[in-house]
Structure 1
């Protein structure tokens, strides 16, 4: 047999290399996951166990491809899950992956062995000196005679470390040790604590300030020099500084000192935001048509955190200007004072309004999510071009009022809320009360709730109720102080302000009672900045309480398109009236900016 010469050998090697590269380049056949069956489980359901796995069954909308390495990780996760839940002997006894080569599908069966569950027989704490065992046990999330859960051991350790850190023990160390009796499946859990040194706050250093005066930062701090270090106060102070809106970045840290020293200096690193802005906005809405708004403001006047602004707005139905001033700390106390002056002209379906006046509001935040305010309103109003037959002329209605309100707000974002609750209750006394005379009283209540249903779906609902008490009846209440409904913000199946009482010419006259319930609004993100919404609403405006009946509730159903643009949320809503009356249009279309609530 003749041996290949050098040239032929090279040719053979090149051919083999080319064939192997073609084989490697050939993609593997992909199999979709048809079913995942789990057997042998009694304590946990199939659904609960599947949540620990990445390998999931394909659905009508999404095909899931089977990957063996991912599946192997899932088997390890299943076993790890069982052991974290106290089943220390749990294991995967066997599994089968049956491939359907014709349909390119796989059927998976997993056989688990749960074994007995381990329970805690005793918990012991060692090394504690500053805190009593009773106080430490208040931080425990695991209890004797309960299952041995690794997650609760970790959460208890974190709770204890937080407790010590909030009391100056910054170097505290906590470890846990678990001993299991195999015969009885009972566990003994020991926590070993090394408390270390207790620290106090030394000097407080602030860096990064260019415009803001140091006292503005210091008054927001919840800790002082010489106090025992409380880590929760450091975090709260950082949050309060962020909420002032003056800073782009706030970083509070403890500086290391001499190991023998029991003081820790605090360093606050600040990055200031731009203090002054010029904002110009142009928009369009179904009611106002084209509009423009210009605002000049400073959030940090002369570095004192005081706010000054001047704004002017014009549209086809509104022209106005407003100047405002805010003092976040009134006379050195955490009471906020807002003062504004305004002049405006407004065209409504039933009348035109000219108003000049101002408001003075003093409020204070209580706890983390609530605040109370009291507002004095001073306005000189003139109504003109009154189109309602029985109100062709109305005397000047000069408003002098006091309003007390309470707000509770847990929303994650006030402009584009995905989760949380908002509640506001207020009552306003209108009239020359300093002369012991009251023209009428006006109360309002507003509740909003938001909850994510999925990662891209949000459920929202809102309830609004208002009432006016006037000795002389509706005639004594100026047209501009009454309640109205209908439009882009509430009952979207009705024309603007025409969901309540109308005169003989079909113009809104307003009422003394307002009830609006946005039963649901399902907000669904579809693709990036685009979304859709479905909504249902009921409500009405009433002149007398006796009219508050189910029959008088008007309904509004509809859908809308959302575009979350860089300048704000744009929405287009179609509202459908299922029970049109008195020549009402069965549908309305509204284009506006921002969510309806």
Structure 2
């Protein structure tokens, strides 16, 4: 993929910020399996996207890297169809809360709900679909494992998603800014013909270590799959640099 983005933002109040970003992207979809759904096979080749993405964020956290109190609530939207080949809309609600507990521990709660759809006779591009599974969505599952599959078992993503994360964060070595985390995640992506049902969410649990380093937050986390399917791993180790929420 090739392209560029240009954006503007404005502080609307002490805690609220509005942003708008223009994206131009040239994507080539290659090596599509013959067993893939027809709507994915139809997208093979080069496609252009021209889109606007406005967002509104309210952030009261006491730290961007290592928050212990406050919340971050955001609405993200994307409208593609300002020229180009793709016509779609996306919307995401994202709410994260940090609650201080005893002995410098913190309870972290996060919920995300997303919806996307093509319009004007166009399907949602396969690379714009929601893929749930991995360190930033549902830990212990691989990329896209918590979601729709094609006829050959390939992960095709969804047009809707629901994700919940719960974390208990505790100090390990305070002077080194080293912390531990115990978590429970649940989430899934759904195709447009699927009804969202809470009982269908894929649950996982696990433990992790976080170091607030000079380079930022470094995360090493182990997730255990509580609803393992035959082609999935029972557990996964994952590594990331950057904020958890």
TM-score if structure 2 supplies the norm length?
Answer: 0.88
- The residue aligned with 2:128 is 481
Cα 1:404/1:592, change in 2 over 3 Å: closer
1:395 alignment counterpart = 45
- 1:495 corresponds to which of 142, 148, 157: 142
Could you say which structure has the higher strand fraction?
Answer: 2
Cα distance in structure 2, aligned partners of 1:580 and 1:534: 20
CA shift for structure 1 position 527: 1.8
Aligned equivalents of 2:125 and 2:34: distance in 1? 13
Q: Contact 1:490 / 1:596 at 8 angstroms: preserved in 2?
A: no
Residue of structure 2 equivalent to 1:572: 220
Q: Equivalent residue for 2:77?
A: 427
Distance 1:588 1:438 in 2: 35
Counterparts of 1:388 and 1:582 in 2: how far apart (Å)?
23
Q: Distance in 2 between matches of 1:524 and 1:594?
A: 18
Q: Distance in 2 between matches of 1:485 and 1:546?
A: 15
Cα distance in 2 between the residues matched to 1:489 and 1:403: 21
- Deviation, 1:554, is 0.8
Q: Does 1:527 align with 2:173?
A: yes
Q: Which residue of the partner structure matches residue 69 of structure 1?
A: none
Whether 1:555 aligns to 2:203 is: yes
Deviations 1:243-265 (A, max 9, x none): xxxxxxxxxxxxxxxxxxxxxxx
Given that 2:48 and 2:86 are in contact with CA atoms closer than 8 Å, whether structure 1 keeps it comes out as: no
**Distance change in 2, residues 1:471/1:567 (3 Å):** closer
Cα separation, 1, equivalents of 2:6 and 2:112: 25
Question: Relative to structure 1, is the Cα distance of residues 375 and 595 closer, same or farther in structure 2, using a 3 angstrom cutoff?
Answer: closer
**Superposition map of 1:158-169 within 5 A:** none
1:207-286 → structure 2 map (5 Å cutoff) = none
C-alpha change, 1:525 and 1:501, in structure 2 (3 Å) is: same
The within-5 A match list for 1:183-198 is none
Partner of 2:45: helix, strand, or coil?
Answer: coil
**Runs (5+) with no aligned partner, structure 2:** none
Say if 2:89 is the partner of 1:457.
no
Question: Which stretches of structure 1, 4 residues or more, deviate above 3 A after TM superposition?
Answer: none
Q: Deviations over 1:489-514 (max 9, x none)?
A: 11112112322112244331111001
User: What is the alpha-carbon distance in structure 1 between the residues aligned to residue 77 and residue 104 of structure 2?
Assistant: 38
Partner of 1:584: 232
Going from structure 1 to structure 2, the CA distance change for 1:427 and 1:502 (only over 3 Å counts) comes to same
The corresponding residue for 1:364 is 10
Whole-angstrom CA distance in 2 between matches of 1:579 and 1:388: 29
Match for residue 382 of structure 1 among 13, 28, 39:
28
- Structure-1 separation of matches of 2:172 and 2:74: 32
- Asked whether the 8 Å contact 1:556–1:578 carries over to 2, the reply is yes
Distance 1:595 1:371, change over 3 A: closer
CA–CA separation in structure 1 for the residues paired with 2:223 and 2:54: 35
Please say if residues 484 and 499 of structure 1, whose CA atoms lie closer than 8 Å, have aligned partners that are also in contact. Answer: yes
C-alpha displacement of 1:360: 2.0
Residue of structure 2 equivalent to 1:540: 188
- Count the aligned residue pairs: 239
| From 415, 429, 432, the counterpart of 2:65 | 415
TM-score normalized by the length of structure 1: 0.38
Q: Distance in 2 between matches of 1:564 and 1:360?
A: 30
Of structures 1 and 2, the one scoring higher in RCO (CA 8 A, sep 6+) is 2
Aligned pairs for 1:264-343 within 5 A? none
Q: Identify if the C-alpha distance between structure 1 residues 452 and 545 changes in structure 2 by more than 3 Å, giving closer, same or farther.
A: farther
Partners of 1:558 and 1:423 in 2: CA distance? 25
Change (3 A) 1:572 1:362: closer
Unaligned runs of 5+ in 1: 1-354
CA distance in 1, matches of 2:47, 2:130: 16
How far residue 382 of structure 1 moved from its aligned partner, in angstroms, is 1.3
- Asked if the contact 2:47–2:86 (Cα under 8 Å) also holds between the matched residues in 1, the reply is no
